[in-house]
Chain A
């Protein structure tokens, strides 16, 4: 028999479904579903970032909206300068905006990573409830800063008039943009799977299981966690960058604690620490919003019930229920 675990098969099915749905939608002349699938991919990407810190590292960050929003604002700000032909500053050298996605992604990831480095340096000295509260506090600080900063829209947010460009692809066609986000999501999943299996991943997961053991063999948990927190933030920041381009709009909402909560919900619904957990979680979230959101405006109530059921009865989330417990080799 081939040595393929049930989880691997499930993951492939999930990826395939997410890839195929938009094409079926197109063939049925329902382009709306393409956008819906793109949202799933972007939310999943944000969740993949958090899952690295939360699932593998046990770092319960309640402030990942900060990185999602910073990634979004990086795109919004750079693009708005480019579209208005205003350089960011002109001395000592001129720095123009840009509408090239590849550059925007790079900037979004660097800025989110730097923010995570600073936030991590403070917050990772604490653990448990204090860590949750400090990450939340930092995110809220950035949220209020965005609201009160009139240069880039303040409370009203910032529009991106034309979706940014990707070499050789017309990003204005929804299916093209979907394929870009899908490609980014798969790359991020590949990266996280690689990290998980590496020496770094071993140290990270040991830090979650027993931090005293890790210290006693001579590895400082703080350093491992800080590196993880930064990588995690960069992935979520990239998701924010894509989200800005999907909506052609960024607003302080992206930075609010609701967003942090939603990203966490993706991870928990799908399965904490499971590679494809955030994909399953984000898909479930969007389906819920779509199906029950059409029936009642209180759809969140029903989502809450499902979340409660997952936390009480199915700790492994959707992936855990279908593929069984994690077993390290």
Chain B
């Protein structure tokens, strides 16, 4: 078992990461790995430091101590854009879109980013059929093709979440970093997204921050529980369900 684990190199690895804001230890000695093909869920009560941790991985914050390796490269010094280029596909907790652009143009932006063609000055994008077709494929994957020409500002909350997902797909990432993708989706939307993410793990592993416990227990290969910036437990769904420390600190009466 141990030998087996060593043989698989983690896609993403955090080693002893610390981050403080003044006296508040937002991230306190966090180590975790994301292995190929897995969904690793990160759960914890509000204020546990999940978002802070995600921001250190995405490059918005830099850790005070410790290292973050992605595809065996140290991410220290790489900015948000550089990390995205390397293959970290992140979605935001609160949808973050170019609101004046149509859904299609939002995805087209991601496609041109992966192609590295943002310094093309002359050809009009809306006459660039290859670019449009490429983007359309990702909109279809999230069942948004009929809303392609609607400005992001006019999309519903659920549609914006789907659009975020389409953009993340268009980046063809080597790891997904999904920050509460189910938030505000409603039971129907959550179910559909659960089915979708279940298939997505074969494309690239997913680090999933999520409050929806049904989704987490249905999807996760492994779960890490974050409380006050510390990981109090990491394990399979069953191990986490039965872990007394977790029940006390987080799950409480729910389980």
Contact = CB atoms under 8 A, between A and B. Distances in A.
B90 interface: yes
B171 interface: yes
A132 interface: no
Given A218-B114, A227-B119, A202 B81 contact: no
A199 B127 CA distance: 11
Contacts of A221: 81
Interface stretch (B92-100, B181-189, B199-207): B92-100
A184 B43 CA distance: 60
Given A214-B109, A216-B90, A218-B81, A200 B119 contact: yes
B35 interface: no
A123 to B, nearest CB: 19
A162 B120 CA distance: 41
Main secondary structure of the interface of A (DSSP, over half): helix
Given A197-B124, A202-B112, A203-B118, A215 B84 contact: yes
A215 B109 contact: no
Q: Which of B108, B122, B128, B149 has the most CB of A within 10 A?
A: B122
Contacts of A118: none
B37 interface: no
A329 B189 CA distance: 28
A322 B177 CA distance: 45
B110 A198 contact: no
B123 A217 contact: no
Contact of B113 (A209, A210, A217, A327): A217
A328 B81 contact: no
A8 interface: no
B102 interface: yes
A218 B85 contact: yes
B171 A205 contact: no
Interface in A228-258: none
A209 B118 contact: no
B122 A198 contact: yes
Given A199-B117, A224-B118, A215 B126 contact: no
B75 interface: no
B125 A213 contact: no
B101 A198 contact: no
B52 interface: no
A291 interface: no
Contact of A209 (B58, B90, B99, B131): B99
Nearest to A203: B118
A213 B113 contact: no
Contact of B120 (A200, A212, A216, A328): A200
Q: Which of B117, B124, B128 has the most CB of A within 10 A?
A: B124
Interface residues of A, number: 29
Contacts of A329: 102, 126, 149
Interface in B36-80: 58, 79-80
Contacts of A111: none
Interface in B119-139: 119-126, 128, 131
B167 interface: yes
A298 interface: no
Q: Which of A197, A198, A205, A212 has the most CB of B within 10 A?
A: A198
A142 interface: no
Contacts of B90: 216
A328 B105 CA distance: 9
A195 interface: yes
B109 A194 contact: no
B10 interface: no
A28 interface: no
Contacts of A209: 98-101
Nearest to B153: A209
B100 A326 contact: yes
B149 A195 contact: no
B118 A200 contact: yes
Contacts of B106: 213
B151 interface: yes
Interface in A294-329: 326-329
Nearest to B102: A328
A206 B85 CA distance: 17
A260 B89 CA distance: 41
Contacts of B109: 202-203, 206, 213-214, 217, 219
A88 interface: no
A206 B167 CA distance: 14
Given A197-B125, A198-B125, A212 B100 contact: no
Nearest to A224: B118
3 smallest beta-carbon distances between A and B, as pairs: A218-B84, A197-B124, A215-B80
Given A205-B101, A329-B149, 8 more contacts: A194-B122, A202-B118, A215-B81, A215-B84, A216-B80, A216-B84, A216-B96, A219-B113
Interface of A: 194-195, 197-203, 205-206, 209-210, 212-221, 224, 227, 326-329
Interface of B: 58, 79-82, 84-85, 90, 92, 96-102, 105-106, 108-110, 112-114, 117-126, 128, 131, 149, 151, 167, 170-171
17 contacts: A198-B120, A198-B121, A198-B124, A198-B125, A199-B118, A200-B120, A200-B121, A203-B109, A205-B101, A210-B98, A213-B109, A218-B81, A218-B82, A220-B79, A328-B100, A329-B102, A329-B149
